[in-house]
Structure 1
Amino acid sequence: MRAQIAAANWKMNLTLQQGEALLDDLSKATDNLDNHRVVIFAVPSPYLAMAQEKIKGKTNVFIAAQNVYNKKSGAFTGEISVEMLASLGIQWVVLGHSERREYFNETNALLAEKVNLVLEFNQQPIFCCGEPLEIREKGTQNDYVATQLQESLCHLSAEQLQKVVIAYEPIWAIGTGKTATSEQAQEMHAFIRAELAKKYGNEVADNITILYGGSVKAANAKEIFGMPDVDGGLVGGASLVGSEFATIISSLK
């Protein structure tokens, strides 16, 4: 079975003390995970060392950075390098989140550079893709997402690609009042897998974990994760509530 992942994206939320308390609250929920189940906490950069310490000794539980710069080092005040993350023992990095694309103008080409650096330092990217509302309303979401994949991932070798986790974010269904159905999630996940199969073959594509990032909550996680091509979720707001995220973890296949 493909790895089934519950990834928490704290975004720019919580104080250090609140973050510590949340990880303590979720300690039991992240004990004794099945071999194919993985839990990842993408925490704000000031909390990376704290979070690494909190999960010490746990199996299949990891800390991720929410972003990284596209240069190895240099005069880039305020940025974080892959080498810095590696020195902390961070093994996962979220790349291309819709908020990074929208607010910080991250392009597909820039994200290809970040993907390359993360892989060079033996870290694993959670690569985000997905379409905004105007694209969904035009019905061109497949072409839009295919371009994101082609321009940021499809230069990789098959071996490199298998270290990437993809997270599909239907941006039009996040905070808009519109709701994506589990069937719509499945439709896009199946399309993404088919696109990867065109270049890398079915065997490689079938082994890529694809997460859903469209307002996953305790109430809908079981249904969404039950779709055949949905391998877990990249969870925002619900990951900030211990009981909610514990239920989401337990909803993994």
Structure 2
Amino acid sequence: MKKHLLVANWKLNGSIKMISQYIKCVKSCLSVLSKKNIIVIAPPTIYLSEIYKNLNNIDIFLGAQNVDINLKGAFTGETSILMLRDIGVKYVIIGHSERRLLHNETNDILVKKFDLIKKLNLIPILCIGEIEKNKNYNQTTKILIEQLNCMFQVLGKSVFRNTVIAYEPIWAIGTGLSADPKYVQFIHKFIKDYIAQHDPTSIKNIIVQYGGSINAINAEEFIKEPDIDGLLIGSASLDSKEFCKIIAIAEKVTKYY
């Protein structure tokens, strides 16, 4: 029986009022479940402390949506890994397609962020994925290899130990057009096999999760696949009831598959 990692990525959404109601609902949900899985909430940076205060020993971890490459100094508007760790963050999302596309984050920048997160003993969630054109031209694995190789080449063969890879086909994010679960299973198996070629030990503690228009209707079809270790959930995670339904589905799948 494997645990699944469920990450609620709120993106640029949320409010103080929402947080109180949201945590209350999730707390109630978890109180009747066996809590076999790992739950992470990743709100906008400004709400990280507020979320942390509301957790109150609940079995939920705090995640950040981004981090700067600098530890401190004259970098107006940025947030360092030291600050994130100081307020209780355990997981940090990097390389999300929206940041790659809208904020021009390159693989070189992501290598620096990944390295900082690991050195501070937090857990990176590295997002990788292809655009629709890549998929149509059968270039998906080529793109994924490029995104993984940038880490191997700079940080070494064991770089992915105790980390999370989030496969998010860019053409499925926020479109409502989720990828086929069997296709995602194939890609996840490919990612794990490719990493194992460099470092077989990594497979013992790496999590490969899927992100892309996940909701309570399609969640089970994904997480019952053997190599899909969890879900990175966007829009559906903003509704606490919807997120709780996904958590309950994951609990059922963890028990029976």
- Normalised by the length of structure 1, the TM-score is 0.93
Question: Unaligned stretches of 5+ in structure 2?
Answer: none
1:53 maps onto 2:50 in alignment: no
Distance 1:248 1:35, change over 3 A: closer
Paired residues for 1:89-168 under 5 Å: 89-152=88-151, 155-156=154-155, 161-168=160-167
Aligned partner of 1:23: which letter? Answer: I
The residue aligned with 1:83 is: 82
Distance 1:175 1:90, change over 3 A: closer
CA contact (8 A) 1:2 1:208 kept: no
1:25 maps onto 2:18 in alignment: no
CA contact (8 A) 2:5 2:38 kept: yes
The residue aligned with 1:199 is: 198
The residue aligned with 2:215 is: 217
The residue aligned with 1:71 is: 70
Counterpart pick for 1:247 among 237, 245, 248: 245
Q: How far, CA to CA, are the matches of 1:55 and 1:161 in structure 2?
A: 29
Q: How far, CA to CA, are the matches of 2:184 and 2:123 in structure 1?
A: 23
Instruction: Give SS of 1:161's match.
Output: coil
CA contact (8 A) 2:181 2:221 kept: yes
Report the RMSD for the aligned CA atoms in angstroms.
Answer: 1.8
Q: How many residues align?
A: 251
Q: How far, CA to CA, are the matches of 1:89 and 1:158 in structure 2?
A: 29
Distance 1:12 1:33, change over 3 A: same
Deviations 1:101-156 (A, max 9, x none): 01001111110100111111111111111001111111101010111011135644
Q: How far, CA to CA, are the matches of 2:229 and 2:207 in structure 1?
A: 6
- Range 153-162 or range 225-234, more displaced: 153-162
Distance 1:124 1:153, change over 3 A: farther
Identity among equivalent positions (%) equals: 36
Distance 1:143 1:249, change over 3 A: same
Instruction: Give SS of 2:184's match.
Output: helix
Deviations 1:233-252 (A, max 9, x none): 00000001112111111222
Give the drift of 1:160: 5.0
Distance 1:157 1:55, change over 3 A: farther
Aligned partner of 2:94: which letter? Answer: L
Give the drift of 1:56: 2.3
Q: How far, CA to CA, are the matches of 1:159 and 1:34 in structure 2?
A: 33
Q: How far, CA to CA, are the matches of 2:242 and 2:198 in structure 1?
A: 38
Instruction: Give SS of 1:93's match.
Output: strand
Q: How far, CA to CA, are the matches of 1:97 and 1:23 in structure 2?
A: 25
Aligned partner of 2:171: which letter? Answer: W
- Normalised by the length of structure 2, the TM-score is 0.91
Question: Unaligned stretches of 5+ in structure 1?
Answer: none
1:41 maps onto 2:41 in alignment: yes
Distance 1:31 1:129, change over 3 A: farther
CA contact (8 A) 1:182 1:227 kept: yes
Give the drift of 1:30: 3.2
Q: How far, CA to CA, are the matches of 1:4 and 1:213 in structure 2?
A: 13
Give the drift of 1:217: 0.5
Distance 1:31 1:128, change over 3 A: farther
